[in-house]
Structure formats: C-alpha cells, structure tokens
Amino acid sequence: MKLRSKMGSIAVEDKQHTQLPVIDLSPFLQSSSDQERLHSAEELVKACKEIGFCFIKGHGVPQDKIQEAFAVSKKFYALPQEEKMKAPHPPGWAVHRGYSWPGLEKVSNAVSENDAKDEADKLREVQDFKESYEVGSEDNPDMPNVWPPDEVLPEWRPCMTAFYWTCWEAAQNILKALALGLGIEEKLMMEPHSGHHNQLRLLHYPPIRASELQGGKFARMPAHTDWTTITMLFQDDCGGLQVESPTQRGTFIDADPVPDTLVLNVGDLLMRWSNDYLKSTQHRVQPPPLEDRYEGEQRMTRARYSIPYFVTTDPDVTIECLRLQDGRPPQYEPITQRDYSDMRARMQY
C-alpha cells in the first residue's frame, strides 16, 4: 500500500487537509511510567469527546499484516463477478456476512422500529457505488461466515480470519486506553467484549466518473454514524473520507490518509454507553479531494479500498449509561446490542 507522505503533526492552518488529531498510543502500550500511559489515554479520550474521531499511530497492528490484507482484498475484487458471487451475502438483514455486490447495501442513518420497506426503497434511489465483504469470528453462531469455495482464492479465508484477530489484539488495547482515560475500571469496558461479535469489512469503491458522483446519481458512502463501540479503519491513499466538523454541523472535514496510522471513531453504542460523553460522529466517503486521483477526460476517480474493523459488545449484555465524572444523570434506557443493531440493520438491506 502506497500512502502519501504527509506525516507527522497536524497542519491546523491548512484548511484543505486533515484537522483530526493524531494520537500516539505507543506510550500507553510500551511505557512503564503510569503518568505517560495516563497522558496517552487522556489524549485519546479528549479526541473521542471533542470530535469522536482521530488518527492513531503506535496502534500495534503490524504494517505487513495491513499490507497483506489490502493486497488480498484487491485480489478478491479483481476476480470475475461470478467468482465473487460464490460467497453471496444472505438475503435480508439478519446475517451480515459474505459478499455484497454494488447496489445491494444502502448505508444510511435511518433507525427503524419495524420493517419500513417504503422508506428503505426510497433511500435506494441514490445507489452506493461500492462492493464489500463482511467477515466475523468463526465462533459466532448468530452470524455464520460465508466463504467462497477454497479454489476461488485460497488465501482469502486464512488471511481474513487471521486479520480479524490481529485487529482484535489492537482493539483491546484501545478499549483499555479508553477505560483508563475515562477513569472507569478496565473490566467494565472489557467484560462486555468477548471479541466474537466484531466485524471485519473489506471495502472496494470501483473507479467511477466524477460527474456521476457529483451529479448525485451514485454515492460512495453517504453520511452515517457507526453502530459500534469503536471502529478502527485502515484506508489506502485514494482519499475521500470526511468527518463532520464538531463545531459546524453539516460541514465535513477531510480525513486524508496519514501514513502508519489507523482512523479511530466512536460508535453509537459507546456514545450511548458513555451517556453522550464521547461522540459518535457522522462521516462519509466523497470523491477524492486531490486532482491526481482522477484520470482521463471522463475524470474517472481512482478506486478506493478501505478496511474498517467494527468492535461491538456481546449481543445480550445490557449496556447501561456509565456514570462518569461529569455527574450527568443517565440519558438513555439500558439496551442490549442485539436490540439496538437489529433496529438499525432493518434499514440497510
């Protein structure tokens, strides 16, 4: 994976580019000094409280594993359509695994108490121009994985199952850092997460004419929040990810790729769990901001590959608002992850 070399501190004065903070987690992971660990954890919580998004460096996911996952993902998406269709996403919303072809999934922020089909159909008028593949734990009985026959791409299943657990290693450290920074007991954060209910998603946004994206016929990914506790996202060098400004609603700031970092965001469940102390922020994928990401007279955009890893609590654990230092009374009823995500999933498929 080639990443643009705009590394290091954030150029706050440079309005064209990223203004998301870069948090270094290596002191939390490596330092023997309690003070340094606490400082790193508090910086992380500050970013999650103020913006709900940040870049993390020193996250502990080995670079070669990330590169391997991107390389294998590209190989999968380069397969003929009929090969990819050998691992189709099951019909309906209840099981979110396997391959979703362009147009199948529609990302939105809608929340449904019932099967509001008309509403879901209306949302589909603008198609998401992307394809994706969802992978979970092999020991999650609620959502069995969907795999193509081995001969389609022999390395697919071993690579993606291994990467799922590599990401979980890093995710646990991020959750522990959040607990430390929030001043809550580590086990309060860790016990609801067995690691078997996360989701690894391989995303491919094929090249498309800029005019079709800009004309509103197709979208890469419309604005939405994630349903998770946290999401870790790896992105290639295409660009296009944008995050809603914490101070100006409706204004989005570019989250251009920063080498050797992952993008971390707070999901809806953690926002609710933290009693709105941490923010789950809208984000979207737009045409790439940079002109060298387009080709030819048709201004075809470059393809984008990204790999989000969604971390969620076990489905039947009840999430009750944490009582944090700010002393705010609970704003939400207790809810299980199962009830919450069922409500959201009905609108996507």
Ligand X SMILES: O=C(O)CCC(=O)C(=O)O
Q: Tell whether residue 230 is a contact of ligand X (CB under 6 A).
A: no
Q: Which is nearer to ligand X, 137 or 235 (CB)?
A: 235
Among 135, 148, 24, residue whose Cα is nearest residue 69: 135
Q: How far is the CB of 142 from ligand X (least distance, A)?
A: 20
| DSSP assignment string, 227-268 | -SSEEEEEE-SS--EEEE-SSSTT-EEE----TTEEEEEE-H
Stretch that binds ligand X, among 46-54, 114-122, 144-152, 233-241 (CB under 6 A): 233-241
279 binds, among Fe ion, ligand X, none (CB under 5 to 8 A by kind): none
CB neighbours (10 Å) of residue 7? 12
Q: Tell whether residue 105 is a contact of Fe ion (CB under 5 A).
A: no
Give the span between the Cα atoms of 189 and 180, in whole angstroms.
10
Instruction: For residue 98, list its beta bridge partners.
Output: 134
* Amino acid (1-letter code) at residue 124: R
311 binds, among ligand X, Fe ion, none (CB under 5 to 8 A by kind): none
User: 173 burial class (0-12, 13-18, 19+ CB within 10 angstroms)?
Assistant: middle
Q: How far is the CB of 127 from Fe ion (least distance, A)?
A: 18
Candidates 131, 212, 226, 268; binder of Fe ion (CB under 5 A) is: 226
| DSSP assignment string, 125-191 | TSEE--EEEEE--TT-TTS------GGG-TTHHHHHHHHHHHHHHHHHHHHHHHHHHHT--HHHHHT
Q: How far is the CB of 283 from Fe ion (least distance, A)?
A: 6
**What strands lie across the sheet with 241-244, from one edge to the other?**
221-224, 283-285, 241-244, 252-254
Stretch that binds Fe ion, among 31-39, 71-79, 223-231, 270-278 (CB under 5 A): 223-231
Write down the residue that tokens 């009929």 correspond to.
82
Stretch that binds Fe ion, among 28-36, 179-187, 220-228, 289-297 (CB under 5 A): 220-228
Longest CA span, the chain: 58
73: CB partners within 8 A, 6+ apart: 133, 202, 204, 305, 307
Candidates 143, 233, 321, 322; binder of ligand X (CB under 6 A) is: 233
Q: How far is the CB of 308 from ligand X (least distance, A)?
A: 5
Write down the residue that tokens 């979970």 correspond to.
136
Q: Tell whether residue 262 is a contact of ligand X (CB under 6 A).
A: no
Candidates 20, 104, 241, 311; binder of ligand X (CB under 6 A) is: 241
Question: Binders of ligand X among 119-178, rule CB under 6 A?
Answer: none
What x/- string results for residues 267 through 306 when contact with ligand X is judged by CB under 6 A? ----------------x-x--------------------x
Q: How far are the Cα atoms of 1, 116, 277, 313, 328 from residue 346, in angstroms, in the given order?
A: 35, 8, 27, 19, 32
Q: Which is nearer to ligand X, 47 or 221 (CB)?
A: 221
Candidates 134, 212, 226, 236; binder of ligand X (CB under 6 A) is: 226
Q: How far is the CB of 290 from ligand X (least distance, A)?
A: 15
235 binds, among Fe ion, ligand X, none (CB under 5 to 8 A by kind): ligand X
Candidates 235, 261, 274, 341; binder of ligand X (CB under 6 A) is: 235
Under rule CB under 5 A, how many of the chain's residues touch Fe ion?
1
- Interface with Fe ion by CB under 5 A: which residues? 226
Residues that bind ligand X (CB under 6 A): 201, 203, 221, 226, 233, 235, 241, 283, 285, 306, 308
